[in-house]
Amino acid sequence: MQTIRSYLVVIEPQLMESLALKRAKEIASITQAHLHLLISDKEHDHTALLDVLTGTLKNEGYSVTSRQAWHENLHTTIIKEQQIKGCGLVIKQHVDDSTLRKILLTPEDWKLLRDCPAPVLLVRTSQTWKNSVALAAIDVGNGEEAHMALHKKIIDRGLRITSLTHGELHVVSAHPAPTLAVMDATYPIETEYEASYIAASKEFQSRFDISDERMHVKEGPADIIIQHVAKKLGATVTIIGTVARTGLSAALIGNTAEILIDKLECDILVLKPDDIVEQLEQKAADA
């Protein structure tokens, strides 16, 4: 995060406490990045609140600007402002949606993750990142070039975070059970699929210098495994990527990330590959 010079911080006046602003201050106090505060509300004037927040932040030594804007809806407003200001990271507090609401309406945070060209940090806790665990979620079994590039991006960002916070980076990877596994009750027989996954895991560890103690490869659904490992390690932030395919699917985020934002008890940072970022930037420019 030390290379990102400006953060867009979404301020939501209806919340009792802005965890997004608290996290932005913590990170910016280390990186010296600029904070741009945004309130998206077409019904009310929040000029006074923004004046108070910016004044307080300036007195505390932060570089800060602010704006109230509205473009159609919340996620569109955030993306337009991110593009206008050139912010390299969007920081927003996440509040769980009810199951019924998710059935009837696509959550705004899902839309933001799908369409925002910049990395999005959804904040769920006030726990400090200092001296804590950051968890990078990857799929070591996928050797596609796009996934490999995204893996590197996730690990690089995780290392930057833990370098700044004096924390420790762990890696989690989930793999599904082999369809035709042959197991003996007394002498387990490792299937070819499992052996291939283990080999890929070892290669990944060697490439990125990840010790056995910090590598967690488990069998099961990705969202459940990631949630379990994050909780077990007491991770304060989980870093996850999304790879779209071609055409319209390039704007869609994987279901795992969408599910995780309501399940994880820690912050979640979502990254995209460079080619998808370029497509989304073009989409935002054409809107």
- What's the token pair of residue 231? 């909780």
Beta strands in the chain (DSSP E): 6-10, 34-40, 64-69, 89-93, 120-123, 133-137, 168-175, 215-219, 237-241, 267-271
Res 187: pLDDT: 38
Sequence spans of domains, the chain: 6-93, 133-286
Give, for all 287 residues of the chain, the pLDDT tens digit: 656 899 999 999 999 889 999 999 999 999 999 999 999 998 899 999 999 999 999 999 999 999 999 998 999 999 999 999 999 999 999 987 655 455 556 788 988 988 999 999 999 999 999 999 999 999 888 777 878 889 999 999 999 999 999 999 999 998 876 644 444 444 344 566 677 888 888 999 999 999 999 999 988 888 999 999 999 999 999 999 876 444 444 344 456 777 888 899 999 999 998 888 888 888 888 77
- pLDDT score for 245: 44
133-286 shares the fold of 6-93? yes
Strands 89-93 and 120-123: parallel
The whole-angstrom separation of Cα 238 and Cα 217 is: 15
Predicted local distance difference test score (pLDDT) of residue 269: 97
CATH 3.40.50.12370 fits 133-286, yes or no: yes
Question: Given this model, what pLDDT does residue 1 score?
Answer: 60
Q: Can you name the CATH fold of 6-93? A: Rossmann fold (3.40.50)
The pTM score is: 0.89
Centre a 10 Å sphere on the Cβ of residue 125 and count the other Cβ atoms it contains: 16
